[in-house]
A and B are shown apart, each in its own frame.
Chain A
Amino acid sequence: MKQFEPEIVAFCCHYCALAAADVAGKMEFQFPPNVRVIRVLCTGKVEVLHLLKALEAGADGVVVIGCKFGECYFKEGNYRAQKKVQRAQSLIGEAGFEQGRLRYDFVPGPGGKKFAAILTSMTEDIRSLGPNPLRP
């Protein structure tokens, strides 16, 4: 039987996660191919609705990757993002979804290895949860 390959949406901060993605590519760190990277200027601008809509559209998991706490380019965007992910987790929990389908994480710009590790562990976690029941 073919292994379930989760579709993951990753909202990546332009100043850290995206740079880390480049580093991961240059250093040839492997990470799962089914990740759709969406560049955002700051993770603080990712709204609760974006996370819910991604699940509605059939994504198996959504991860928001911002800067380390205290190192946000816009000072506090990553704190806002973390709070929004927490709120969205509670909203999808009420709707009968596993809260683990949403995650917030951080990575510094040169952290290619960590970037790959986040997406790999997310993929493994989502694989254990199974596909999004709304998947078309």
Chain B
Amino acid sequence: MIVGERKPFSEILSMVDNCSKILILGCGSCVTICMAGGEEEVKILGSQLRLAFRRNGKNVEVEEFMALRQCDDEYMDDPVLIEKVKEADIVVSMACGVGVQHASTFFNKIIDEGLVRVVPALNTTFMGANIGVGEWEERCVGCGDCVLEKTAGICPITRCAKSLLNGPCGGSFDGKCEISEDTECAWHLIIERLNALGELDRVRSVEPYKDWRPSHSGGLRKTVREDAKI
């Protein structure tokens, strides 16, 4: 899932300065699961903003709404939501960066270009997994050329600090990476699991350098499925 963290309150407050009607829009997908932009977080931010505004004697209306998925037209095309967006001075999106951009494009297209301001309430941090209650860790950088079949399902691009394809390096000690005692060496994990799987031969040959063209360094990426288009 995409993991995010709420921005500092002072930063959110500065974005909505001089607005008299604010709509906080939550997202019911990834950021709900990582407890950053779901229904509860939307209500907490709403409550916190109301407390701050009323504390300063400002009369600002704060509304809250949830979209199941802000990165998809199908879930945004809701007449109740569109009406609320029309009435609001600003939309504070609690989705990931994808959701914020899509919401901004969608509302400006549906309502009127240049009429809707959408601002982010989260910092999108990474694509990761839930590794414990209240804990998430990065698992994929979206390099566009998956190597997990060679590395026993552990990604060296994401989890090795040097993104090595032939590891471990000399900085691996006692299963830990040299960058921090809390960080496991990805290549230590890979070798251990390959050994357990009886596939250690996989790492005996040298892996050639990686083709980084499908990664973000090749510019904006796009996927088109002709068979799925109408």
Contact = CB atoms under 8 A, between A and B. Distances in A.
A96 B50 contact: no
Q: Is the interface of A mostly helix, strand, loop or mixed?
A: helix
A94 B51 CA distance: 10
A134 B47 contact: no
Interface in A92-129: 92, 94-97
B211 to A, nearest CB: 45
Contact of A47 (B8, B40, B50, B56): B40
Contacts of B40: 47, 49
Given A134-B54, A134-B55, A95 B48 contact: yes
B9 A52 contact: no
Contacts of B98: none
Contacts of B50: 56
Q: Is the interface of B mostly helix, strand, loop or mixed?
A: helix
Contact of B47 (A53, A96, A133): A53
Interface string A72-103: 00000000000000000001101111000000
Interface size class of A (residues with CB under 8 A): 10 to 19
A94 to B, nearest CB: 4
Contacts of A48: 44
Interface residues of B, number: 15
B51 A92 contact: yes
A77 to B, nearest CB: 15
A55 interface: yes
A91 B47 CA distance: 10
B55 A52 contact: no
Interface in A35-75: 47-49, 52-53, 55-56
A55 B51 contact: yes
Contacts of B49: 95
A112 B163 CA distance: 61
Interface string B1-32: 00000001110000000000000000000000
Contact of A91 (B48, B54, B55, B56): B48
A55 B44 CA distance: 12
A66 B8 CA distance: 30
Contacts of B52: 94-96
B202 interface: no
Given A48-B44, A97-B51, 17 more contacts: A52-B44, A52-B47, A56-B47, A56-B54, A91-B9, A91-B48, A92-B48, A94-B8, A94-B10, A95-B9, A95-B48, A95-B52, A96-B51, A96-B55, A96-B56, A133-B55, A134-B55
The 6 closest A-B pairs by CB, nearest first: A94-B9, A95-B52, A52-B47, A95-B51, A96-B55, A134-B54
Interface of A: 47-49, 52-53, 55-56, 91-92, 94-97, 133-134
